[in-house]
């Protein structure tokens, strides 16, 4: 049994190579252990004092680099994220309560691998890569490569996720994440959808990506290539909703039936595309989109 408080990435990699497991905020790891999902690992290395993991900055060569140890509370307000990766801020703003957001991290959300994670669909539509580092070297995986099933990733036990790296965004781009929730705090997505769009000079869709949460064993992308070149109108939004519902392979559980999830994920996808397009056109829609479009607004 050991508990190491690391100060540098190298400290962490050494501890991981010796068999320790990383703990960031512990809001999945400790809560899960206390609920009996999996015992607390005997050897832990704490990431919360590694400053190198807690920064957001430009990626050399273009794009944004978000340290895995950045908390949801930071992501909600960070000007770079809100400006160029708005859907991540939309998602982080919905996580748990202020306490969950102050403690919980982006890297923990991603590496926990829940199919209902809120930042996952935004990262996928933004074409993020997860940077994984170990004493053996550094590699980058796309989100599709990283998530292999509910609660599992392609990362080796000695690999630390150091950052989520987003490519540079073109002008006239926007993204949004919308989730169906029964309460406006302390909630898990019933279903969720993210969209990222780039508009051409004539206002038609130059790039569109849509991804879904809580409707499959992992976050899933929707094939929306048929929408490229079209102007966003009701027909396109209806086609997005249909494509999203067709992509979903949801389960029945106590939170929702599979049928309800399949239908509502289409509605969320449509709303996400609509909000992303409006943001791409320069309309300021506040974070999180959920509240800005009236979901869960206090009466």
Partner 1 sequence: MSESFQLRVNDVEYPLSVDQGRNLLGVIRTEIGLTGTKEGCDDCECGACMVLIDGQPVNSCSYLAVQAQGREITTVEGLAEGDELDRLQRNLLEVGGVQCGFCTPGMLMSATALLAEHDDPSDDEIRIGLSGNLCRCTGYARIIEAVRRTADGA
Ligand X SMILES: Cc1cc2nc3c(=O)[nH]c(=O)nc-3n(C[C@H](O)[C@H](O)[C@H](O)COP(=O)(O)OP(=O)(O)OC[C@H]3O[C@@H](n4cnc5c(N)ncnc54)[C@H](O)[C@@H]3O)c2cc1C
Q: Which stretch binds ligand X (CB under 6 A): 25-33, 170-178, 221-229, 279-287?
A: 25-33
Q: Does residue 95 bind ligand X (CB under 6 A)?
A: yes
Query: Among ligand X, partner 1, none, what binds residue 102 when CB lies within 5 to 8 Å by partner kind?
Result: partner 1
Q: Does residue 198 bind partner 1 (CB under 8 A)?
A: no
CB 67 within 8 A of CB 53: yes
CA distance 98 to 186: 10
Q: What is the dihedral of CA 223, 88, 69, 19, to 10 degrees?
A: -20
- Answer for which of 6, 15, 26, 126 binds ligand X (CB under 6 A) is 26
Shortest approach of ligand X to residue 243 CB, angstroms? 24
- Residue 105, beta-bridge partner list: 71
Of 63 and 67, which CB lies nearer to partner 1 in the complex structure? 67
- Tabulate helix, strand, coil % of the chain (nearest 5): 35, 25, 40
Taking CB under 8 A as the criterion, which residues in 21-80 touch partner 1?
23, 26-27, 30-31, 33-35, 40, 44, 46, 48-49, 73
For every residue of 191-236, DSSP letters joined together read: EEEEEEEEE-TTSBEEEEEEEEESSSSS-EEE--GGGTTSBP-HHH
Q: Tell me how many degrees the CA angle 57-151-183 measures, rounded to the nearest 5.
A: 80
Query: Among partner 1, ligand X, none, what binds residue 98 when CB lies within 5 to 8 Å by partner kind?
Result: partner 1
Q: Does residue 63 bind ligand X (CB under 6 A)?
A: no
Query: Among ligand X, partner 1, none, what binds residue 204 when CB lies within 5 to 8 Å by partner kind?
Result: none
Q: Does residue 3 bind partner 1 (CB under 8 A)?
A: yes
- Among residues 62, 65, 117, the alpha carbon closest in space to that of 92 is found at 117
Shortest approach of ligand X to residue 235 CB, angstroms? 32
CA distance 268 to 255: 17
- Binding residues vs ligand X (CB under 6 A): 21-29, 31, 47, 68, 94-96, 100, 103-105, 107-109, 111-112, 117-118, 160-161, 186-188
């Amino acid at each position: 049994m050991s508990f190491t408080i690391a100060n540098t990435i190298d400290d962490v990699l050494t501890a991981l190579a010796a068999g320790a497991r990383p703990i960031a905020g512990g809001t999945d790891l400790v809560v899960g252990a206390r609920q009996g999902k999996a015992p607390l690992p005997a050897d832990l290395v704490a990431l919360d004092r590694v400053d190198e993991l807690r920064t957001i900055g430009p990626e050399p060569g273009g794009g944004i680099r978000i340290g895995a140890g950045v908390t949801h509370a930071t992501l909600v307000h960070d000007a770079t994220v809100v400006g160029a990766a708005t859907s991540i801020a939309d998602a982080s703003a919905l996580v748990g309560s202020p306490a969950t957001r102050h403690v919980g991290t982006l890297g923990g959300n991603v590496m926990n691998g829940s199919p209902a994670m809120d930042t996952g669909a935004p990262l996928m539509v933004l074409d993020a890569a997860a940077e994984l580092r170990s004493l053996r070297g550094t590699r980058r995986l796309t989100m599709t490569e990283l998530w292999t099933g509910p609660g599992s990733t392609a990362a080796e036990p000695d690999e630390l996720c150091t950052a989520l790296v987003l490519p540079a965004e073109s002008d006239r781009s926007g993204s949004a994440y919308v989730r169906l929730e029964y309460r406006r705090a302390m909630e898990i997505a019933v279903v969720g959808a993210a969209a990222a769009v780039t508009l051409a000079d004539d206002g038609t869709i130059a790039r569109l990506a849509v991804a879904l949460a809580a409707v499959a064993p992992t976050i899933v992308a929707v094939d929306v290539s048929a929408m490229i070149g079209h102007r966003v109108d009701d027909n396109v939004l209806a086609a997005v909703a249909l494509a999203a519902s067709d992509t979903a392979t949801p389960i029945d559980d106590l939170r929702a039936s599979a049928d309800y999830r399949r239908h509502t994920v289409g509605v969320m996808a449509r709303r996400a595309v609509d909000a992303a397009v409006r943001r791409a056109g320069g309309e300021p829609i506040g974070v999180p989109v959920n509240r800005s479009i009236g979901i869960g607004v206090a009466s």
